[in-house]
Structure 1
Amino acid sequence: MNHQEVREFCEARGIMALAQPTQYTPKVKPDFSFRKEHVVELVGFWCMGEIGMMLRGPSGCGKTALVEQFHAAMNYPLLQPMTHARTEAPDLNGQIIPSEGGFKYVYGLLVLAARYGLSVFLDEYNVMDSSVTTSLNPILEGGKFEIPETGETIFPKEGFRVFAACNPNDKGLGFFGRNEEDASNKERFWVVEFGYPTPDQEVPIVSTILKSVFDDSTADTYAQKMVEVANRIRQQYMGESGAANALEVTMSTRTLRRWAKGITVFGGQGGSANPITFTLARALTNNAPRESRDAIHEIVKDIFGATA
């Protein structure tokens, strides 16, 4: 689905788009393709009147892009505070900071979203300490938020929604620094599990990028082979494979797109390097241990044949 189709799908179900984007509306990415099952999830969540949605899945599978581009399609504002291992509750809620002539209270983006009935997106949610995430429990249920510094009491306005994205808390999958969320916090979210797109969904994503420089037939052929490479890597990744020689890196849809973009740029440069392997190295394998790097390039040779 494209952005217009998403807008029409939503409006047919009573979720009306804004006439114009706001200053906080994410920019539209024209080449972004929505998976219908994800749009259905978002529409159902919207219609239920829930506040919190948690999106779980591996890195680079499209969690962040889905939330951003859904808001872009509907012209809705989306506030996105920075979140990391050192994030504290005042970073999200608000705090007193020095200002000219004294001090002033600055509202955090989470509280601003609640006050004005906006969406807020918390990426890398389970990197934050559980003491921070559990402090959000009352507001995730629509409860009041007290600001002792100003004496204010804020009740979330209709339209307030919290989207939280998490990678798996699993070192075996290569994800470090993730915290186990508190049970009381987890139960306040509508939770959606994400995986990588199917080949039928992923090939058009890659092909669209390649068609900017290649004819349709060449782009489609390359896209099919590149997605086959990605899925072979995922199957042999140590998080999915129990084999002793399992790969130590995997290929996300984000990396696959970067590889495709690299080919469109370097494929026409006329250099001596093969653009398929040259760009793959920079998109993925230069960060891989030697054994995995060599194995991945063998996969590419097996699938692409002489062209690699």
Structure 2
Amino acid sequence: MTATDSSILNQYLVGKEPFYQPQHDEVALFEAAYRKRLPVMVKGPTGCGKSRFVEFMAWRLGKPLVTVACNEDMTAADLVGRWLLDKDGTRWQDGPLTVAARYGAICYLDEIVEARQDTTVVIHPLTDHRRTLPLDKKGELIRAHPDFQLVISYNPGYQSLMKDLKQSTKQRFTGFEFDYPNAELEAGILVQETGVAPSIAAQLVTVAATARRLKGHGLDEGISTRLLVYAAMLMDDGVAPRAACRMALVQPITDDADIRATLEHAIDMTFA
């Protein structure tokens, strides 16, 4: 690795160990996938720890992590790169996918279903035996660095006919199915992440359980572990439990007055 390669990759290294609480054997399975450089798909609801897991694995493996937050306006050029004009004329600028493939990083495409299907097809040559990335506009064919791995994530709950991965894309990946942790594990995560008292953590998880039972019955998504962390952080700063819960757990997930009333009742009963 040249000094230039090293300086490019250093900015993507995960410098501090992220806290991640394994639920099953996902850590060992991801390590096995990385040893064979298999592409990985991580599925699960919003805020259940998908991105934290990928960040943790990059740290554990000691590999740079290039993250792309996918959106419907993202083009193939946003991923692979484009020609730019400057004072000296034109110059090529690699996109994040190209940087990862060229120099040897884990490339994480977060919520990939948000991107247009004509954009995501550019990953296909990187996810089979070819492990190549054609830069058509530059006339270059990149052969992926031996350390390169592609990881994608998405929320199956938001799938629709217009927002789903093609089977030709899905079947290029190994996969994990994530869900919210069980009550004891989730309470432990809150304690570890925020320092909140175990009794308060258990109460927050109880409120979350009520909301998650409403998924599909007025709520598109239940309360995520991420939002529970937010509520615990507010409490740690002195905000009253009920106010913290309304701010972090109710207002962000629904505008429906009846659903809000149900959740607020659960909060009042739990923090009576």
TM-score interval for Structure 1 and Structure 2 normalised by the shorter chain: 0.7 to 0.9
Q: Distance in 2 between matches of 1:248 and 1:148?
A: 40
Q: Distance in 1 between matches of 2:56 and 2:181?
A: 17
Q: Give 1:71 deviation, angstroms.
A: 1.3
| TM-score between the two structures when normalised by the length of structure 2 | 0.87
- Residue pair 1:25, 1:72 contacting (<8 A) in 2 also: yes
- Residue pair 1:248, 1:292 contacting (<8 A) in 2 also: no
Q: Distance in 1 between matches of 2:27 and 2:96?
A: 25
Identity fraction in percent: 25
Structure 1 pair 103/64, CA: closer, same or farther in 2 (3 Å)? Answer: same
| Structure 2: segments with no counterpart, 5+ residues | 1-8
Q: Deviations over 1:146-191 (max 9, x none)?
A: 32443322111212111111012547xxxx8961211111110112
What SS is found at the alignment partner of 1:136?
A: helix
In the alignment, which of 69, 72, 82 is matched to residue 59 of structure 2? 72
- Larger C-alpha radius of gyration, 1 or 2? 1
Which position in structure 2 is the counterpart of 1:283?
248
Q: Which stretch has the larger CA shift, 255-264 or 82-91?
A: 82-91
Which position in structure 2 is the counterpart of 1:100?
87
Over the aligned positions, Cα root-mean-square deviation in angstroms equals: 2.3
Alignment of 1:183 with 2:167, yes or no, is: yes
- Residue pair 1:82, 1:122 contacting (<8 A) in 2 also: yes
Q: Give 1:38 deviation, angstroms.
A: 2.2
Aligned residues between the structures: 261
Alignment of 1:128-277 (within 5 A): 128-143=115-130, 144-168=132-156, 170=158, 179-209=163-193, 211=195, 219-237=197-215, 239=216, 241=217, 246-247=218-219, 250-267=222-239, 275-277=240-242
Which position in structure 2 is the counterpart of 1:296?
263
Alignment of 1:89 with 2:90, yes or no, is: no
Q: Distance in 2 between matches of 1:183 and 1:247?
A: 28
Structure 1 pair 137/249, CA: closer, same or farther in 2 (3 Å)? Answer: closer
- Residue pair 2:42, 2:151 contacting (<8 A) in 1 also: yes
- Residue pair 1:134, 1:185 contacting (<8 A) in 2 also: yes
Structure 1 pair 170/109, CA: closer, same or farther in 2 (3 Å)? Answer: closer
Q: Distance in 2 between matches of 1:54 and 1:190?
A: 6
What SS is found at the alignment partner of 2:237?
A: helix
Alignment of 1:107-122 (within 5 A): 107-122=94-109
Task: Extract structure 1 runs of 4+ deviating beyond 6 A.
Answer: none
Structure 1 pair 210/184, CA: closer, same or farther in 2 (3 Å)? Answer: closer
